[in-house]
Structure 1
Amino acid sequence: MLSPISQAGEFTDLDRFMFESWGYIIIPDVLNKEEVKGCLEASIRIHEKAGTTGWAQVGQGHESEPALESLIDHPAILPKVRALYGDRFVLQSAWCTKQPARGGMGGWHQDGSGAYNFNKLGYPIPLIQLRASYLLTDQSEPRTGNMQMVPGSHRSQAPMPDSIRRERGDLPIGQVICANAGSAILFHNAVWHRTYAHDLDYDRYTMHYIYSPPWVRCSDRFENSKEFLQRTTPMRRYLMGEFERPDAPFGQSYDVPDEFKK
């Protein structure tokens, strides 16, 4: 099956064409086996600590787990985020999702705000949430908790039929993303997608990092941990939205990190 396969690092002209055409790109083998192992163990710990059952997601894992913190500004992904947003953007949220063993199909949806759907903002739906999803368990075959995407649906003026959404039905144009653990998917908030079925006997984990313009409110935290801000890097403090004038309209008066000035 055709797939918009990219490479780590630079956001190339081909990347841009694929992203604008499909709404997502797939970057294989971003994390090595040891990094996957560390992130997976961290993900299991934060879910155990939160006491989750069934399908669940937990935020702010980056504040307590160094392996997850390291993905905030991963060099394979951050240049691509910067190419799409420019120099001023924040980490709006970081969610670790767990799909339980033998988990069924998820519901079709676009990312956004339940309080005010992004499709009210205009057509095409603007890029407000750019999601980088790191696969922490193997999804190289279908029905292993894969993401299923509808290529190009971020440009569709027609909504997905209610009957399909209500019944969690199949679509002839849905692509089941098959990739190894350690791969990443970078996708537009307006792409229609869902969690595909997971037939195996272990829980599936994926770590999602969602980048947004600096004026978007964080969704996985009410505030940043002061201890985390003190010990983390200047770049990561910047991505947490901890700029000098948070009261300034739309975050307009904060300076970019030194790494972006080079």
Structure 2
Amino acid sequence: MLHPIVSAGEFTDLDRFIFESWGYFVIPNVLSKEEIQQCLDASIRIHEAAGTLGFGQVGRGYETEPAIERLMDHPAVLPKIRGLLGDRFIVQSGWNTKQPARGGMGGWHQDGSGAYDFKKLGYPIPLIQLRASFLLTDQEEPGMGNMEFIPGSHRSSAPLPDSVRAAKSGTPISHVLCATAGSVLVFHNAIWHRTYEHNRDYDRYTMHYIYSPPWVKPSDRFHNDVDFMQRTTPLRRALMGDFTRPDAPFGANYAPPPFEGN
């Protein structure tokens, strides 16, 4: 099956073309087996602490789990984020999701805000939430809790028919993305997508980091945890929005995060 695969690290012109054409791409083999296990163990602890029953999504796991925190600025992924958003952006949220064993099909949707539909901002829908999803369990074949996309739908001026959404049926061009644990999916908020069915007898875990322009409000927190901010790195503090605003509201530039090499 055709997959929009890119190499880790440097953001290339081909990466941009693939992303603009498809609305997403895959970076394979980002995490080692040891890192996958550490993140998987951390994910289980996060959901146990939250009391997740069935499908669940828990934010702010980076505050208590170092293995999850390290994904925030992973060197295989962060250059892609910078290439697509520039040097001034924040981590809007970090969500750890669990799809339970034998979990059913999710519903088709675009990412965005329930308070204000991103479609109101213009056509094509602008890139406001850029998601990097770290796969922590294998999704090598359909039926393993995969992500299912409709390629190029972030550019469509026609909405996905209500009949398709209500019935949770497929489309002739939907793409069930198959990848191994440790791979990362990077995708546009406007791409139509859903969680595919999970027919295995173990829970599926994914860690999502969502990057946004600096003026977008965080969606997994009302404020940053003081202890976390004191002990994390300068770059991660900046990504969490800890920067001095020289003018309000964003009338002038602020110093970009201390990326390596700047």
**Which of the five TM-score ranges fits, normalised by the shorter chain?**
over 0.9
TM-score normalised by structure 2 residue count: 0.97
Q: What's the counterpart of residue 133 of structure 2?
A: 133
Q: Deviations over 1:94-144 (max 9, x none)?
A: 000000000000000000001111011000100000000000000001100
Aligned equivalent of 1:218: 218
The residue identity in structure 1 corresponding to 2:197 is A
Partner Cα separation in structure 1 for residue 258 and residue 93 of structure 2: 23
Q: CA deviation at 1:242?
A: 1.0
- Bigger drift between 191-200 and 248-257 goes to 248-257
Tell me the distance in 1 between the aligned counterparts of 2:130 and 2:246.
Answer: 22
The 5 Å alignment of 1:28-47 reads 28-47=28-47
Unaligned 5+ runs, structure 1: none
Q: Which residue of structure 2 aligns with residue 18 of structure 1?
A: 18
| Alpha-carbon distance in 2 for matches of 1:179, 1:3 | 9
In 1, Cα distance between equivalents of 2:189 and 2:68? 22
- Shift, 1:250, TM fit: 3.8
Separation in structure 1 between the aligned mates of residue 191 and residue 165 of structure 2, nearest angstrom: 14
- Matched letter for residue 70 of structure 2: S
Q: How does 1:168-183 map to 2 (within 5 A)?
A: 168-183=168-183
Partner residue, 1:61: 61
Tell me how far apart the structure 1 counterparts of residues 17 and 258 of structure 2 sit (CA, whole Å): 29
Q: Is the counterpart of residue 151 in structure 1 residue 151 in structure 2?
A: yes
Where in structure 2 are the equivalents of 1:182-197 lying within 5 Å?
182-197=182-197
Q: Which runs of 5+ in 2 are unaligned?
A: none
- The alpha-carbon deviation at position 261 of structure 1 amounts to 6.1
Runs of 4+ in 1 over 4 A off after TM superposition: none
Whole-Å separation in 2 of the counterparts to 1:13 and 1:160: 30
CA distance in structure 1 between the aligned counterparts of 2:251 and 2:73, rounded to whole angstroms: 20
Q: Judge conservation of contact 1:87–1:260 (CA < 8 Å) in 2.
A: no
Matching residue of 1:167: 167
TM-score (norm 1): 0.97
* C-alpha spacing 1:246/1:56, structure 2 compared with 1 (3 Å): farther
Matching residue of 2:227: 227
Q: Secondary structure at the match of 2:26?
A: strand
Query: Deviations along 1:144-200, whole A, 9 cap, x unmatched?
Result: 000000000000000000011011111111100000000000000000000000000
User: How many residues are matched?
Assistant: 262
Could you say which residue in structure 2 is the equivalent of 1:199?
A: 199
Alignment-mate amino acid for residue 16 of structure 2: R
Q: Percent identity of the aligned residues?
A: 70
